[in-house]
Structure 1
Amino acid sequence: MGALSNLRVLDLTQVLAGPYCTMLLADMGADVVKIERPGGDLIRSNPPFVDDAETEAYGGYFQSVNRGKRSIELDFGDDEDRADFLSLVEEADVVVENYRSGTMAKYDLEYETLREHNPQLIYSSIRGFGDPRTGETHRQGQPSFDLIAQALGGVMEITGSADGPPTKVGPGVGDLFTATLNCIGILAAVNHREQTGEGQYVDTGMYDAMVSLTERAIYQQSYTGEAPTRRGNSHPTLFPYDAFETADGYAVIAAFGTNHWREVCAAMGREDLAEEYPDRASRLEHRDYLREQIADWTLERTTDDLVDALEGRVPVAPVQNTEDIFADPHVHARDMLVPVEQPGTDAEVEIAGSPIKMTETPPEPRGRAPLLDEHREEVLGEEAETPADD
Structure 2
Amino acid sequence: MSDLPPLAAPTPKALEGVKVLDLSRVLAGPWATQMLGDLGADILKIEQPGQGDDTRRWGGPALADGSGDSAYFLCANRNKRSLAIDLSTPEGAALIRRLALQSDIVVENFRVGGLAKYGLDHAALSALNPRLIYCSITGFGQTGPYADKGGYDFLIQAMGGLMSITGLPDGVPGGGPMKVGVPIVDLFTGIYATVAILAALRHRDATGQGQHIDCALLDTQLSMLSNQASRYLNGGAVPGRLGNDHPDIVPYRDYACADGDIVVALGNDRQFRDFAAILGLGALLEDPRFASVSLRSANRAALHDLIGPAVARWHVDDLVVAMEAAKLPAGKVQGIPEILADPQVAARGAVQTLARDDGTPLRVVGFPVTLSATPARYDRAPPRAGSDTRAVLGEVLGVSEVELDVLAASGVIGG
TM-score bracket, shorter-length normalisation: over 0.9
Give the direction of change, closer, same or farther, for the CA distance of 1:364–1:51 in structure 2 (3 Å limit). closer
Structural mapping, 1:22-41, within 5 Å: 22-38=33-49, 39-41=51-53
1:70 aligns with 2:68: no
Partner of 2:256: 245
Q: TM-score, normalised by structure 1?
A: 0.93
Aligned match of 1:367: 380
Deviation per residue, 1:288-313 (Å, 9 max, x gap): 22112221111111211111110241
- In structure 2, the CA distance between the partners of 1:25 and 1:140, relative to structure 1 (3 Å rule), is same
Residue type at the aligned position of 1:317:
G
Where does the alignment leave 5 or more consecutive residues of structure 1 unmatched?
none
Equivalent position of 1:187 in the other structure: 198
Out of 157, 160, 167, the residue aligned to residue 167 of structure 2 is 160
**Counterpart check, 1:354 vs 2:367:** yes
CA distance in 1, matches of 2:328, 2:192: 32
1:33 aligned counterpart, secondary structure: strand
| Aligned counterpart for 2:119 among listed residues 98, 108, 111 | 108
Could you tell me how far apart the structure 2 residues matched to 1:264 and 1:215 are?
29
The one-letter code of the counterpart of 2:55 is I
**3-state SS in 1 of match to 2:44:** strand
* 1:251–1:303 CA contact under 8 A, matched in 2: yes
Question: Match of 1:160, as an amino acid?
Answer: G
Q: For residues 46-125 of structure 1, what are the structure 2 equivalents within 5 Å?
A: 46-49=58-61, 55-125=66-136
Specify whether residues 354 and 107 from structure 1 end up closer, same or farther in structure 2 by C-alpha distance, changes over 3 A only. Answer: same
CA contact (8 A) 2:249 2:294 kept: no
Task: Supply the distance in 1 between the matched residues of 2:355 and 2:239 (Cα, whole angstroms).
Answer: 46
Matches within 5 A, 1:158-307: 158-163=165-170, 164-276=175-287, 277-307=290-320
8 Å CA contact retained: 1:9, 1:96: yes
Q: CA deviation at 1:375?
A: 1.3
SS in 2 for 1:48: coil
2:349 pairs with 1:317: no
Q: 1:37 Cα shift?
A: 2.1
Q: SS in structure 2 opposite 1:65?
A: coil
Superposed CA offset, 1:331-366 (max 9, x none): 01111111123677x652322111021011111433
Distance in 2 (alpha carbons) for counterparts of 1:76 and 1:385 = 19
Q: 1:108 to 1:347 in 2, by over 3 A?
A: closer
Give the whole-Å Cα distance in 2 for the aligned partners of 1:7 and 1:51. Answer: 30
Structure 2, unmatched stretches of 5+, are: 1-11, 400-415
Which amino acid counterpart does residue 95 of structure 1 have in structure 2?
V
Contact 1:338 1:352 in 2 (8 A): yes
- Residue 326 of structure 1: aligned partner: 340
Look up the equivalent residue of 2:103 and give its one-letter code: A
Structure 2 letter corresponding to 1:43: T
Q: Is the 8 A contact 2:350 2:366 kept in 1?
A: yes
| Structure-2 residue corresponding to 1:126 | 137
Letter in 1 for 2:328: V
In structure 2, distance between residues paired with 1:18 and 1:369 = 15
For 1:330, the aligned partner's letter is Q
Q: Per-residue CA shift, 1:17-59, capped at 9, x if unaligned?
A: 1111111111111111001123211111223235758x23411
Give 3-state SS (helix, strand or coil) of 2:83's partner. strand
The alignment-based identity, stated in percent, is 36
SS at match of 1:44: helix
Q: Which moved more, 1:42-51 or 1:235-244?
A: 42-51
- Asked if the contact 2:250–2:300 (Cα under 8 Å) also holds between the matched residues in 1, the reply is yes
Of 131, 140, 148 in structure 1, the residue corresponding to residue 147 of structure 2 is 140
Matched, 1:13 2:28: no
- TM-score (structure 2 length as normaliser): 0.87
Question: Post-superposition shift, 1:84?
Answer: 1.6
One-letter amino acid of the counterpart of residue 158, structure 1: I
- Name the CA distance, whole Å, in 2 between partners of 1:342 and 1:300: 50
Equivalence for 2:349: 335
More deviation, 182-191/81-90: 81-90
Aligned counterparts of 2:280 and 2:70: Cα–Cα separation in 1: 52
> Does the Cα contact within 8 Å between 1:49 and 1:56 map onto a contact in 2?
no
Q: Report the 3-state secondary structure (helix = DSSP H, G, I; strand = E; otherwise coil) of the residue aligned with 2:55.
A: coil
Counterpart amino acid of residue 203 in structure 1: D
Give the residue type in structure 2 aligned to 1:175: D
Preserved contact between residue 56 and residue 343 of structure 1 (Cα < 8 Å): no
Deviation of 1:385 (Å): 5.4
Give the secondary-structure state (helix, strand or coil) at the position aligned to 1:166. Answer: coil
SS at match of 2:145: coil
Separation of aligned partners in 2, 1:48 and 1:57:
9
Q: Secondary structure at the match of 1:43?
A: helix
CA contact (8 A) 1:76 1:107 kept: yes
Letter matched to residue 378 of structure 1: A
Quick one: distance in 2 between partners of 1:46 and 1:34?
Answer: 18
Distance, in Å, in 1 between the alignment partners of 2:355 and 2:64 is: 15
1:317 aligns to what SS in structure 2?
strand
Q: Distance in 2 between matches of 1:339 and 1:182?
A: 27
CA RMSD in angstroms comes to 1.9
* Secondary structure of 2:56's aligned partner: coil
